[in-house]
Structure 1
Amino acid sequence: MGAWVWAQPTPRPAILGISHVAFQVKDLSKAINFYHGLLGYKPTRMRQKNTAPEQVTFKVNGRQHLKIFSGLPDGQDERMLEIALEVTNAEAMRQYLLSKGLKVPPKLDQEPTGILSFTVEDPEKHLIKFIQLKQKNTSKSFREEQLSDAVSDRILHVGITVADVKKMDAFYLNLLDFSEIWRGGRPDTVINWINMRVPDGTDYFEYMLVSGPVSRQQLGVLHHVALQVPSMQKALDVLRTRLNDPQPYKLESPRIGRNNRWQLNLYDPDGTRIELMEPFPMR
């Protein structure tokens, strides 16, 4: 009598953290002035096909980048293009999601640098890219090659709009094994934000809960990136030396957030919020 052969479940490869966040901008020069002139990240222009939007990459550290693309159309509210998650094996991740019934591309994309990736949509249409870095890059410390002029050397979290928590949890919590680490709101009796940490690292997504249509201005606030700074005062001191070079920038005052950490909101020329945040609560 033949023995039963049970199909083994496809394992999920490690999801290490946020690799990059990409935004579309209307005026590339003005955006570079913000991300380079104010935040201090060195711009690297990427070669694109003639018909493709121009791309500029800003290295935050050895494993994380901010990216901007030209060509934001007049009247388009959405500026966030994609969020990339670093995985140990892109093909294994594609096979894992396929085994769970998710629609995935038939094959991986390979960049000239050897980076492997594929992109899917989450339940609320945010584009999520899974990216596998070249082997020689994966052993580097994430702080390696961080620029001394940069105001921060880490992307701590990225904010995304969420209208249906159950549907998003089915993707991030149940499928990708993210875990909830904090929730809060203003006032305390209301939940406005839920923080969901990646399964194999300390970066996290912030659910920005919405209950109806949002304006362009609101979307720029909700779809945001948080950069960690060891000291808000030191960050302020650096930013204040750059407020008029190369173009004037009006700096808001820092505030203490609902998580009891110092925070400072900055906005690029298209209204996308870049949040600076200290790593620990105030004492």
Structure 2
Amino acid sequence: MKKLSAFALLLTCCHFLVAQARPAITGIAFVSLYTGDPEAAAKLYDNDMGFIRTKIGTEDFYSVSDSQWFQIAPLHVPEVSSHLAAVGFTTRDEAGLERYLRAHGQSILPEAERGRFAVKDPEGNLIVFVQEGMKHPGSSVASPRATSHRIIHAGFIVRDAAAEDRFYKDLLGFHPYWHGGKTPERTDYVSLQVPDGSDWLEYMLNNPAIPDLHTYGMMNHFSLGTETMDQVVTGLAANKCTKPICSKTQVGVDGKVQLNLFDPDQTRIEYMEFKPSSTPCCSPFMGKHPTATEDK
């Protein structure tokens, strides 16, 4: 009887461990934005940046690679708020990850498409999980004019980093990549990599309690990776993006070369080199750098 009880206890523990196992989260699938003027936005994303535009219903989809994209939804009532609608992450087991989150008390939001589900993080950001290998919406054909083929991170304003950490680090397994600030004495940016890849999420800290549209646009952004920024500048010029901002490069406090563009709603699109070219401020990098080939 004691042997049987011990076996039953072991079996129960094994079932508990299996139930608690978190399926792999491998990278960024997509970023969804709002715009008050889709046609004006298309002049940047399609004409200047070179991505293929595919309209599905009221939304525009822009292919970055065969597994990454960004999508633009019309904002019918202009308002001073975040125009970052959602960030999507890929997982190797969408159904298993949903079970895992439900088991940990996370509310699951209904999604119209199979192979994906959505949750809200502690600050109300919409986070979508997409089954790896799921069919790409719109055109998955890589544009020969595209100035990047890799989304490497997304960032948004965070007011309570401890609450976000409990969700992203403790529950989902994200881990530190880098942190720094406008001065070495403070932390304004915290980068957390997905647990099973090199893409990351960036907390944008120390912002006004009520941000204006420009602040929202600067902070709530997404980033496109490149081997060298010269490739981006050359591509933008070939696409007839000749404004001074199209060639204005700079080195960020993380030591990586970057170039920032802004859509008509002031949302920032940050081109960034995969690896730093100088010593980063404030902390060393604590994870592997992304590459041109998605490591999902």
TM-score (norm 2): 0.83
Moved more, 187-196 or 2-11: 2-11
Give the SS at the match of 1:86: strand
Q: Equivalent residue for 1:140? A: none
Give yes or no for contact 1:38–1:239 (8 Å, CA) kept in 2.
yes
Q: How does 1:171-250 map to 2 (within 5 A)?
A: 171-211=167-207, 212-243=209-240, 250=245
How far apart are the structure 2 equivalents of 1:126 and 1:178? 16
Give the counterpart letter for 2:128 in structure 1.
K
More helix by share: 2
Write out per-residue CA displacement over residues 141-189 of structure 1, whole angstroms, 9 at most, x where no aligned residue. xxx9432210001001001111111100000000000000110011111
Give the counterpart letter for 2:82 in structure 1.
E
Q: Does 1:254 align with 2:249?
A: yes
> 133, 143, 150: which one pairs with 1:147?
143
How far apart are the structure 2 equivalents of 1:73 and 1:79? 12
1:110–1:88 Cα change, 3 Å: farther
Write out per-residue CA displacement over residues 40-74 of structure 1, whole angstroms, 9 at most, x where no aligned residue. 0000111x3xxxxx111111011110100113422
- Structure 1 residue 241: deviation in Å? 3.5
Give the SS at the match of 1:44: strand
Q: Does 1:8 align with 2:16?
A: yes
How far apart are the structure 1 equivalents of 2:241 and 2:224? 22
Q: Equivalent residue for 2:262? A: 267
How far apart are the structure 2 equivalents of 1:86 and 1:69? 21
Q: Does 1:70 align with 2:74?
A: yes
Write out per-residue CA displacement over residues 216-251 of structure 1, whole angstroms, 9 at most, x where no aligned residue. 110000000110112212211221343469xx7853
How far apart are the structure 2 equivalents of 1:82 and 1:30? 21
Moved more, 229-238 or 28-37: 229-238
1:117–1:136 Cα change, 3 Å: closer
How far apart are the structure 2 equivalents of 1:39 and 1:252? 12
Q: Does 1:92 align with 2:96?
A: yes
Give the counterpart letter for 2:129 in structure 1.
F
Q: How many residues align?
A: 264
Q: How does 1:110-149 map to 2 (within 5 A)?
A: 111=113, 115-134=114-133, 145-149=141-145
Give the counterpart letter for 1:152 in structure 2.
S
Give the SS at the match of 1:251: helix
Give the SS at the match of 2:246: coil
Give yes or no for contact 1:15–1:199 (8 Å, CA) kept in 2.
yes
Give yes or no for contact 2:32–2:87 (8 Å, CA) kept in 1.
yes
- Structure 1 residue 110: deviation in Å? 5.2
Q: Equivalent residue for 1:51? A: none
TM-score (norm 1): 0.87
Sequence identity, in percent? 29
1:264–1:94 Cα change, 3 Å: same
Give yes or no for contact 1:243–1:249 (8 Å, CA) kept in 2.
no
> 45, 54, 60: which one pairs with 2:64?
60
Give the counterpart letter for 1:198 in structure 2.
V
- Structure 1 residue 37: deviation in Å? 0.6
Give yes or no for contact 1:15–1:200 (8 Å, CA) kept in 2.
yes
1:85–1:244 Cα change, 3 Å: closer
Give the counterpart letter for 2:219 in structure 1.
L
How far apart are the structure 2 equivalents of 1:98 and 1:263? 39
Q: Equivalent residue for 2:44? A: 34
Q: Equivalent residue for 2:271? A: 276
* Consecutive unaligned residues in structure 1, runs of 5 or more: 49-53, 138-143
Q: How does 1:163-178 map to 2 (within 5 A)?
A: 163-178=159-174
Give yes or no for contact 1:38–1:243 (8 Å, CA) kept in 2.
yes
